[in-house]
Amino acid sequence: MLKPKKIRIEKPEIDYSSWFIDLGELTIFTQKVLKQFFRPPFENRELIKQGYYIGYKTLPLISITGFIMGLVLTMQIRPILVDFGATSQLPGLIAVAIVREIGPVITGLICAGKISSGIAAEIGAMKVSEQIDAMEVSGTKPLGFVVATRVLATTLLVPLLVIVSNTFGLLGSFIALNMSEIFTVTNFINSAFDTIHFSDIIPATIKTIFFGFFIGLIGSYKGYQASQSTEAVGLAANVAVVTASLNIFVIDLLAVLVTKFFVSY
């Protein structure tokens, strides 16, 4: 009789040291980029150009997703509140959910997918085609011209994109609500804004600044780290999305903990 063959499954080795090396390199990269923010020449033209690509070109996507987010959220929650006879609380509930959490996180994730990967792929391609080297030889610091402008643009514009997304989210919610009952604009706004306080808006806005910073930074870092092959460019874009998305959740968690420490809801 044949004995069943023993199959030995070896545990894959996880190289934790490379993770720490990567973290260290990211820290050094962050330091260098932050220095470029305050070091002339200030690349205003490039910053505006990046602002256009990062902000304006993302606006339609953010608006549509924000609108659908508000619409769906209202349609899902309304039946539950009907059971308790509390539909009048719906605008406030939706507003708090969107402003505090869903708006920033969903917008952050979309930006991580669209912007961070775009930056990583663009910078990676610039490295492969030696454009970064060409810039350096011509006496320009790529960290200032290419990286700092992109990171600054995302830091400034992601919070604005979140505000737009939240506005469209509330619009979606208003429309969804009016599909089943009549709710005037004034009633909706009063009900929504009565529930939102500064303690909701300020921490949520501050965390979106960090979202924006890390979306730009991680995209740039991964692009800059890409080795000189086309395969590496795709990989850099992929890793940038995953890392930036993960960072958004970590920052969100930290923001909630810090806010809870200072503000009692």
Q: Contact between 80 and other proteins (CB under 8 A)?
A: no
Alpha-carbon span 177 to 76, nearest angstrom? 11
Q: Which is nearer to other proteins, 54 or 126 (CB)?
A: 126
Q: Contact between 229 and other proteins (CB under 8 A)?
A: no
Q: Which is nearer to other proteins, 101 or 136 (CB)?
A: 136
Query: Could you give the C-alpha distances from 213 to 121, 167, 169, in angstroms and in order?
Result: 18, 22, 23
- Is the separation of the CB atoms in 62 and 164 below 8 Å? yes
Distance spanning both ends of the chain, measured CA to CA: 71
Q: Contact between 134 and other proteins (CB under 8 A)?
A: yes
Instruction: Give the amino acid at 122.
Output: E
Size of the site for other proteins (CB under 8 A): 14
Closest separation in Å from C-beta 125 to other proteins: 8
Q: Contact between 139 and other proteins (CB under 8 A)?
A: yes
Q: Which is nearer to other proteins, 131 or 199 (CB)?
A: 131
Closest separation in Å from C-beta 43 to other proteins: 10
Q: Which is nearer to other proteins, 47 or 209 (CB)?
A: 47
Q: Contact between 181 and other proteins (CB under 8 A)?
A: no
Token pair of 192, please?
């929504």
Backbone angles phi, psi at 182, to 5 degrees: -95, 125
The closest of 115, 108, 132 to 51, measured between CA atoms, is: 115
Of 15-23, 59-67, 126-134, 166-174, the window that binds other proteins (rule: CB under 8 A) is 126-134
Q: Please, where are the H alpha helices in the chain? A: 16-37, 44-54, 59-84, 90-97, 103-111, 117-128, 131-137, 142, 149-180, 185-195, 198-225, 230-262
Q: Contact between 44 and other proteins (CB under 8 A)?
A: no
Q: Contact between 12 and other proteins (CB under 8 A)?
A: no
Site for other proteins (CB under 8 A): which residue of 30, 89, 140, 238? 140
Q: Contact between 125 and other proteins (CB under 8 A)?
A: yes
Site for other proteins (CB under 8 A): which residue of 130, 181, 194, 231? 130
Token pair of 183, please?
């709710």
Binding site for other proteins (CB under 8 A): 125-126, 129-131, 133-141
